[in-house]
Amino acid sequence: MKEIDNIDNTEGLEKRERVDTINLEYLKVKDYEELKEIMIAVYPNITDPYWKKKDIQKLISIFPEGQVVVKVNGEIAGCALSIIVDYDKFTDTHTYMQITGDETFSTHTPKGNVLYGIEIFISQQYRGMRIGRRLYDYRKELCENLNLERIVFGGRLPNYHQHADKLSPKAYIEKVRSREINDPVLDFQLSNDFHVKRIITNYLEGDKQSKDYAALLEWDNIYYQKPAKKPNAIKTVVRLGLVQWQMRTYKNFEELIEQAEYFIDTISGYRSDFALFPEFFNAPLMAAYNHLSEPDAIRELAKYTERIRDRFSELSVSYNINIITGSMPYIEDGTLYNVGFLCKRDGTIEKFYKLHVTPDEAKAWGMSGGEVLKTFNTDCGKIGILICYDVEFPELGRLLADEGMDILFVPFLTDTQNGYSRIRHCAQARAIENECYVAIAGSVGNIPKVHNMDMQFAQSMVLTPCDFQFPTNGVKAEATPNAEMILVADVDLDLLKELNQFGSVHNLIDRRKDLFQLKWKKK
């Protein structure tokens, strides 16, 4: 047999009775006689159109989960039969008889990597009820639950004989895809997220309607995890802890670290994976240098940066949490930069730079922008970090997204609500256009004894894309404005994979790369 040329895009050929119940069930041997009658009716032009009872018994015996029926008012309306194969043992030019072991199903193996569809058909009486979609949705769930790479089957082209004198199989499929030709079968497959990998010749012997051609159709399981030879600790649900830091006067360095450790301790107590601190959270230490000029004071503050980095690294290990230190002034080869550190819980440390310094940072402090942009691999997926003003430049987020970023962290410092709104709205845009999560954390309050740091406004939050998998307003969680607190929120990385493939729109996939491109120029 084969994947049916009659799914259910057409209307029912007979008037249906009222539907009281519709259920998807495992196929049972006792259903055989009813199944046989339906197959005879479905395949009127095929010799020997039905499976033998022993074949159905064999399928149910070796793989009961793969054999299902949809029953309407207790009657079989549709059926799907499947096996699991080790697809590496076959080529993409296989025939139906090869993949099914000459219809003995000897090719089935629970250790295989592909769910292979060998049959699906809908009773004529129940077409137009989307029975086929129910069956394919079940197959997709089965593929995900069994952690198989994909669903594969050879789809007949039953209307191709009407166009074979003018079109090649490839051209025929392209015209179906562009809706120039109506093919209810292929239209159905494409609308259910299957894609044509190639065209197979001589797939089903004697298939005159398809001219012996078939489309090799696939559906990729985006949740597939390749079996690891060693333990894989990468998480899919990640807990974020954001510190909305209160600016206050500290007597010394140790008192500031004590306050930071308090937040880290609290956030790790909720078993968070990340702690995010704001930009320049350590600015209160400049109070001791307020008698100096602003450029000199910020350079005195830079002398604490490496000490803070090292202490945070110790805390990340002892509290088992990845810490994003916010950002701090840092002198490198005589040049003043705004940098931060990712202190991983395995003890390693990585550095990130602010690339776009604000006019005030350049004018008041003589600060320069960095020249390094990269993503960071963590035990919770790949992340990106942009400091404050950098998030207002969409190119940076897109470059990080192209490297596979799942979560973008934005430590920021803004003095007015206007400045905060720029950060917040640009961060929301980065979440939507790059199909990622964005976490922003800022400082609140004021430190009157520090020049150029008079007051701060912040509302820390976790932002998401705007689609059905996420909150309608794209806000996963938000802190109280201008109040010292922590914000803890979970983000599910699998939802990003789902969005990328099945979202209402595809901001990454749909880019017209044939018209434009974005490239990092600095080597």
Pick left, alpha or beta for residue 482 (phi over 0 → left; psi -120 to 50 → alpha; otherwise beta).
left
pLDDT for 444 beyond 90 = yes
| pLDDT per residue as tens digits for the range 182-202 | 887 888 888 888 999 999 998
Residue 466 annotated in active site: no
pLDDT for 172 beyond 50 = yes
Looking at residue 55, what is its pLDDT? 95
pLDDT band at 12 (very low <50, low <70, confident <90, very high): very low
For the chain, the 3-state helix, strand and coil shares in percent, each to the nearest 5, are 30, 25, 45
Looking at residue 184, what is its pLDDT? 79
Catalogue all structural domains in the chain, each as residue range(s) with its CATH number. 22-220 (3.40.630.30), 237-502 (3.60.110.10)
pLDDT for 8 beyond 60 = no
Give the residue carrying structure tokens 């992340």. Answer: 383
Looking at residue 235, what is its pLDDT? 77
Looking at residue 44, what is its pLDDT? 78
Give the separation between CA 485 and CA 238, rounded to whole angstroms. Answer: 20
The count of C-alpha atoms lying within 13 angstroms of the C-alpha of 463, restricted to the half-sphere facing its C-beta, is: 25
DSSP collapsed to 3 states, 168-179: CHHHHHHHHHCC
Looking at residue 231, what is its pLDDT? 56
Mean pLDDT of the chain: 91
Residue 388 annotated in active site: yes
**For residue 350, what are the β-bridge partners?**
342
Please identify which of the residues 119, 354, 466, 476 carries the catalytic annotation: 354
- pTM value is 0.74
Looking at residue 14, what is its pLDDT? 45
Looking at residue 20, what is its pLDDT? 78
**For residue 242, what are the β-bridge partners?**
276, 487
- SS3 category, 440: strand
Residue 14 annotated in active site: no
Mean pLDDT throughout 116-135? 89
| pLDDT per residue as tens digits for the range 223-266 | 888 876 655 556 789 999 999 999 988 889 999 999 999 999 99
Closest CA to 326 of 293, 284, 380: 284
Please identify which of the residues 79, 143, 343, 388 carries the catalytic annotation: 388
- SS3 category, 108: coil
pLDDT for 297 beyond 70 = yes
Please identify which of the residues 3, 279, 294, 435 carries the catalytic annotation: 279
Looking at residue 17, what is its pLDDT? 62
CB-based burial, 370-404: b 16+ in 10 Å, e otherwise:
beebebbebebbbbbbbbbbbbbeeebbbbbbeee
Closest CA to 7 of 163, 142, 140, 159: 159
| pLDDT per residue as tens digits for the range 451-502 | 777 789 999 999 999 999 999 999 999 999 999 999 999 999 999 988 988 8
Looking at residue 1, what is its pLDDT? 44
Looking at residue 236, what is its pLDDT? 85
How far, CA to CA in Å, does 502 sit from each of 220, 222, 458, 494, 497? 12, 10, 34, 12, 8
pLDDT for 171 beyond 90 = yes
Residue 458: count of CB within 10 angstroms of its CB = 28
Q: What percent of the chain has pLDDT over 70?
A: 95
Looking at residue 167, what is its pLDDT? 92
